[in-house]
Amino acid sequence: MDTSMSESSPIKAPLPAGMTSDMRLVAWLSIIGGGFSCLSIFGAIFGIPTLISGLRLKEATEEFDAYDRDGSEVSLMRGFERQSRYFFIQKVFIMISIAFAVFGMIIAVLVIAGVIGSGIPWSRIPRD
């Protein structure tokens, strides 16, 4: 049995270079974008979750920084947990965006089919 990796001497795995700085940038962009979206009533529907997901990513970045400084596995696990919350919110947003895009395409096809099938000559359709 190999005892070179005993629990008394854990090996601290380094984080990928530049990961926390990229995470911090994306977190701040999410926070700022969510804040701007919250300036309107309709935008707040999407802005508040964007703001919250940005805060979760910022917290994850802070935990990864603490892991990098101290080597604490607790910080690493908290960082992954907060990062997973960020990705969950983003996953939901992507699914909602795809649904809206498909819905918009269906509406566009129906409108175009209605115009074509209405029998209105193309010369009578107003053009700006």
Tell me if residue 31 falls in helix, strand or coil. Answer: helix
B/e letters for 50-89, b = 16+ CB within 10 Å, e = fewer, are bbbbbbbbbbbbbbbbbbbeeeeeebbebbeebbebbeeb
At 26-85, the pLDDT tens digits run: 999 999 999 999 999 888 888 999 999 999 999 999 999 989 888 888 988 999 999 999
Q: Where are the domains of the chain?
A: 19-94
Half-sphere exposure of 81 (CA within 13 A, CB side): 7
pTM of the model: 0.71
Q: Is-contact 20 61, C-beta < 8 A?
A: yes
At 85-113, the pLDDT tens digits run: 999 999 998 999 899 999 999 999 988 88
